[in-house]
């Protein structure tokens, strides 16, 4: 039986993971559940799965615990608080697998810890690789850790490359739904409301990822993920808009052969792939009906309407800690949009401003990444307030 920590257990990925573990208690034992401030939901999950270690990263060390206010008897349980509590909780629970579904750069330290311990990292926190990809890849190499990508696109590439030689690879195709504004004009996109941007046509996701799908910043992040995870040159990564979200990614080889991974847009499938790797686990789900998807379409991504996508290639060109700047500025700008403070197009404009204000430095440590993350957030706020 494998011991698993689920970081971000109350979010959509965390809940999907727990739903999969419900019928697989002979294979997996959840030993740590972590959330930001969703105390009631975290408590209910801990009760259902009999988890002994909990963490609320949104609490300061001296703040009263909302979990205590629920009236639950926590005898035998231990609650950790704050960002530093995440690492303490991981050390306390000593999992075999860590599923990191924390949102934003806040998940980086847990990713680094997992790989330093030589453990398997089931990574849904794409910001870890965006901010510090080379550092994490090196940690995995040094300590024998494994990065298994939970993102549906990268899980698809991972499957297509199993048993293949890297020298035979020509390019990969990352697919994107196109988001809610795929057919909108630039003028319409400029006037988009919060409700418009949160109306994703295919996937049900959290607010930040949904907004990232609307700007295509999410796909920008995924290009960077693919670059780091699979050692790909930027010019060998192409993004195709695929509105049906059935083909999750494709891989082209030197002989012209193309392998594609298909499936319904259900995040339980890539999660289950990562949980079972290197084996595959049974999944009782509705079978794929090809007659319902007789026409699968693909379109070229429009960089004029969605300039965020092009930032991936610019960040690779700049190198160093540019990815951390990209992510931090986007987190601040998206939050401002969701608060109704800025128009939609200001999100990408702000990120570009902050990147242009930064002189890249070589990546040397997680501490450096956190330092530049803090600078980029301050700079983004300055840009938004000017």
pLDDT number for residue 3: 98
- Same domain, yes or no, for 17 and 55? yes
Find the mean pLDDT for residues 173-199.
93
Domain boundary among 149, 176, 206: 149
- Same domain, yes or no, for 259 and 324? yes
Q: 340 in a domain, yes or no?
A: yes
In the predicted structure, residue 139 carries a pLDDT above the cut 60: yes
Find the mean pLDDT for residues 317-321.
96
pLDDT, tens digit (0-9, with 9 covering 90-100), for 147-158: 999 999 999 999
pLDDT, tens digit (0-9, with 9 covering 90-100), for 41-92: 999 999 999 999 999 999 876 666 666 544 444 456 789 999 999 999 999 9
Find the mean pLDDT for residues 269-286.
92
- Same domain, yes or no, for 214 and 320? yes
pLDDT number for residue 64: 65
- Extended beta strands in the chain, E state: 2-7, 28-35, 53-56, 78-81, 97-100, 120-123, 146-149, 169-176, 237-241, 247-253, 258-262, 299-300
Which is more confident, 62 or 182? 182
Domain that holds residue 120: 2-149
- Same domain, yes or no, for 301 and 171? yes
- Count how many domains the chain has: 2
CA-closest candidate to residue 280, choices 48, 108, 24: 24
In CATH, what number is assigned to the domain containing residue 40?
3.40.50.720
Going by the DSSP 8-state scheme, the letter that residue 93 receives in this structure is: H
Q: How confident is the model at residue 138 (pLDDT cuts 50, 70, 90)?
A: very high
- Same domain, yes or no, for 166 and 246? yes
pLDDT number for residue 67: 64
Domain boundary among 119, 149, 179: 149
pLDDT, tens digit (0-9, with 9 covering 90-100), for 108-131: 999 999 999 999 999 999 999 999
Q: 277 in a domain, yes or no?
A: no
Residues 6+ apart with CB under 8 A from 229: 129, 133, 137, 147, 149, 154, 157, 158
pLDDT number for residue 70: 44
Query: H-helix or E-strand containing 382?
Result: helix 366-385
Q: 336 in a domain, yes or no?
A: yes
Cis peptide before 347 (omega within 30 of 0): no
Q: What is the pTM of this model?
A: 0.92
pLDDT number for residue 74: 47
In the predicted structure, residue 136 carries a pLDDT above the cut 60: yes
Which is more confident, 265 or 261? 261
Going by the DSSP 8-state scheme, the letter that residue 287 receives in this structure is: P
Mean residue pLDDT across the chain: 92
Q: How confident is the model at residue 288 (pLDDT cuts 50, 70, 90)?
A: confident
pLDDT number for residue 33: 98
Q: 70 in a domain, yes or no?
A: yes
């Amino acid at each position: 039986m494998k011991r698993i920590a689920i970081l971000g257990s109350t979010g959509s990925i965390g809940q999907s993971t727990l739903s999969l573990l419900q019928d697989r208690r002979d294979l997996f034992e959840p030993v740590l559940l972590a959330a930001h401030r969703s105390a009631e939901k975290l408590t209910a999950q801990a009760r259902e799965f009999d988890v002994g270690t909990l963490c609320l990263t949104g609490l300061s060390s001296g703040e009263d615990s909302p979990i205590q206010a629920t009236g639950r008897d926590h005898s035998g349980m231990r609650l950790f608080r704050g960002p530093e509590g995440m690492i303490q909780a991981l050390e306390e629970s000593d999992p075999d697998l860590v599923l990191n579904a924390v949102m934003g750069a806040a998940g980086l330290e847990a990713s680094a810890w997992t790989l330093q311990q030589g453990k398997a990292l089931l990574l849904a926190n794409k910001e870890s690789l965006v901010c510090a990809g080379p550092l994490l890849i090196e940690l995995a190499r040094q300590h024998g850790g494994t990065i298994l990508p939970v993102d549906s696109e990268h899980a698809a590439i991972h499957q297509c490359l199993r048993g293949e030689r890297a020298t035979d690879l020509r390019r990969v195709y990352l697919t994107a739904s196109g988001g809610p504004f795929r057919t909108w004009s630039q003028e319409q996109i400029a006037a988009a409301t919060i409700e418009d941007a949160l109306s994703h046509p295919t996937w049900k996701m959290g607010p930040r990822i949904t907004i990232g799908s609307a700007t295509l910043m999410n796909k920008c992040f995924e290009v960077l993920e693919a670059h780091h995870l699979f050692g790909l040159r930027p010019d060998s990564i192409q993004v195709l808009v695929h509105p049906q979200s059935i083909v999750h990614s494709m891989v082209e080889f030197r002989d012209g052969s193309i392998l594609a991974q298909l499936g319904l847009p259900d995040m339980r499938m890539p999660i289950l792939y990562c949980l079972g790797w290197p084996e595959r686990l049974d999944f009782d789900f509705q079978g794929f009906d090809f007659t319902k998807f007789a026409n699968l379409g693909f379109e070229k991504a429009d960089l004029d309407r969605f300039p965020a996508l092009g930032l991936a290639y610019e960040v690779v060109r700049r190198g160093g800690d540019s990815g951390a700047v990209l992510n931090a500025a986007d987190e601040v700008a998206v939050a401002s949009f969701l608060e109704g403070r800025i128009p939609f197009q200001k999100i990408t404009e702000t990120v570009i401003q902050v990147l242009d204000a930064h002189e890249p430095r070589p990546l040397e440590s997680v501490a450096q990444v956190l330092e530049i993350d803090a600078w980029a957030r301050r700079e983004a706020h300055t840009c938004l307030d000017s």
